[in-house]
Structure 1
Amino acid sequence: MVRSFFNPAWKDLGVLGTYGRWLGTNWVWAEWLAIYHAIFSITIPIFLVELTFPQSKTRIWLSSKMRVLFHGLLVLAIVLGFFAFPYDPGVFAIAGCIAAVVALGWFAKRIPNVSPAQRNLKLSWKILVPLGFSVPAVFFFFFNSALIPIAAGTMIIGAFMVLGYERLLTRWARRGFSDLQKLGLMTGALCFFALFFDFILDLFLGRIGTSLLGVAFIVYLLWVRKKIVLQLPGKSPSVQLGSEMRDPTYPGAR
């Protein structure tokens, strides 16, 4: 579908309907949206499912029949999208999108999935939560502000920022993220939207339902954190969230 990549009148574009538009493509918007969906529509949901249902980490989620079903639903959604969003970007634009999807899928299949044998990363949530928050905050305001007169400069800087975050997280991942550390990164990233958009902005606009949804999602993240903490060695249900279990002391014990 990706009609917003090409349609200059797409309602969410704002200034990006003209800024960075070249050869019938909204390039800055396309880069920002690809980054957004890679993080928030793919990576974070997978991690949240694994943290909520730990047994899912070692299981294939879809059977062969279910994969066929979902592939069919994807094709159906694409076909319906042609009628729901009537904008014709041209044959070459659609062919380019298909080629990009195939190429990226081929590349992703060849990236080794290596899990560290130990989890030795020593990083506090006080670092990980703000770092996670900075990702959508920086990218959202950077891409949508059109601060740089030349759109190509925005795209190049955006690509380097992605590379910087990727290199940092990859280096840490080699030392092994714990489940709490993963959740800290995701909580920071999700709280940008849950607090700024779902709660503050929508509450100001009178959208109470969306505000309640944002609050409910934050409560869900806190519940997941409590669940992880209680599964740690030395924890018990009576332990407060995020506190450490101290070794019992006895008179005369050293």
Structure 2
Amino acid sequence: MTGSPVKGRKRAAWTLVALAPICAEMTFGALPLGMMWVLPLLVPMYGAGVLLIREAVRRTGGGWPSLLVLALVYELAEDGIGLQALTSPGLYGAAEWGPRVLGINTTYWESQIGYHAVFSVMVPILLTDLLHPAHRDRPYLRRGGLIGVGAVAVLGVAMLRVLIPPVMDPGYQAPLPALAAFVLAGVVLSVIALKVLPGRTPPPPAGTSAPKPAVVGLLAALATVAFLGLLIPVFPVGAGGRGWWALPPMVLAVAVAVVTGLLLHRWSASGWTDAHRIWLAGGTLVAHSLFGAAVMATTTLDRVGLTGFAVLTALLMALLGRRVARRLVPVG
């Protein structure tokens, strides 16, 4: 590591702030290329929000399970309170994706839990750890910085609420009981993530070794396409939506997520390296860009752009792999 430790931590923090909205929005097609000017407005929610999650987990000694639980809190804040998409009958057509239970768009909710857990939280943090390995297990911020980032994250949720629903979903206001439930759930889940889970993650079973990195990348790509394809309507749905017919795909999507997570946990027992992490992130990102090009894009420009993002991601992951390999070569 060159330079001072403080500057190194700041660079790592800014890297994570930049990667979060790029991984979550720009490379999927949820934000069309013609609206890329909106991306900086998403930094307070995505960048500050994920940085806050990462700092809280590092300070309490938590690991990936804690990050996963806080990713659910993040999703409740963004889609439940900011965008109000979890309960809206009109925004994004989410009510047509599957059954509405207690006024909640359940299929949309499930898709966003998995999506934000992976692309808004875990992949940006994983990539930042690879780019700044000296600070992988350390907090980036001091207490004042942490408080400031928390305030910006709250501001980001408020910005979403003020800027997007009035334009895309005019007149809708989420019911107060639902908003209160989201806040309460966020508090309970935060306590579980930061007080209960740290130090209690079960170790991977002994005797299991990781396969080749390319196998990990292929699994990540297939799991990404399967999960998104099962939940996000690939073809337009009728006026009545999919209703309860979406329940079997919802169960299968949960199975895909659980099996993938268990396999990665087992493989981490032995032989798990940064090369595996690079292939894991790369396979996931490339697959989600190609899925976006096939399903989310509405114009030729967006399809070409997302395909280009997929190719660029593969090239950048290859360069990162070379950088990591050089870092591991002994000097002399």
**Please, what TM-score do these two structures have when normalized by structure 2?**
0.61
Distance 2:226 2:328 in 1: 33
1:4 matches 2:100: no
Deviation at 1:155, TM superposition (A): 3.2
Structure 1 letter corresponding to 2:161: F
How many residue pairs get aligned? The number is 233
Q: Identity of counterpart residues, as a percentage?
A: 21
Deviation at 1:199, TM superposition (A): 9.3
Stretch deviating more after TM superposition (169-178 or 185-194): 169-178
Deviation at 1:149, TM superposition (A): 4.7
Closer, same or farther: CA 112–76 of 1 in aligned 2, 3 Å = closer
Correspondence for 1:142 among 208, 230, 233: 230
Instruction: Please name the residue that 2:135 is paired with.
Output: 56
SS at match of 1:206: helix
1:131 matches 2:219: yes
Distance 1:212 1:235 in 2: 37
Distance 1:82 1:107 in 2: 27
On the 8 A contact 1:132/1:188 being kept in 2, the answer is: yes
Distance 1:127 1:61 in 2: 32
What CA deviation, in whole Å up to 9, does each residue of 1:65-118 have, x standing for no partner?
1111111112212223332214312011111211222222222222245688x9
Instruction: Please name the residue that 2:287 is paired with.
Output: 192
Residue ranges of structure 2 left out of the alignment (5+ in a row): 1-77, 167-171
Residue ranges of structure 1 left out of the alignment (5+ in a row): 237-254
Closer, same or farther: CA 181–111 of 1 in aligned 2, 3 Å = same
1:222 matches 2:318: yes
Instruction: Please name the residue that 1:242 is paired with.
Output: none
Deviation at 1:141, TM superposition (A): 0.8
Distance 2:198 2:155 in 1: 32
**Please, what TM-score do these two structures have when normalized by structure 1?**
0.78
What CA deviation, in whole Å up to 9, does each residue of 1:11-66 have, x standing for no partner?
363841xx222332111110110111001110111110011111121321122111
The structure with the greater share of residues assigned to helix is 2
The within-5 A match list for 1:162-241 is 162-175=257-270, 177-197=272-292, 205-207=300-302, 211-233=307-329
Structure 1 letter corresponding to 2:183: I
The within-5 A match list for 1:4-153 is 4-11=85-92, 13=94, 15-16=96-97, 19-84=98-163, 85-86=165-166, 87-109=172-194, 110-112=196-198, 121-145=209-233, 149-153=244-248
On the 8 A contact 2:216/2:279 being kept in 1, the answer is: yes
Deviation at 1:212, TM superposition (A): 4.4
Structure 1 letter corresponding to 2:212: S
Structure 1 letter corresponding to 2:176: V
RCO higher in 1 or 2 (8 Å CA, sep ≥ 6)? Answer: 2
Which one has a bigger Cα radius of gyration? 1
RMSD: 3.2
Distance 1:201 1:92 in 2: 32
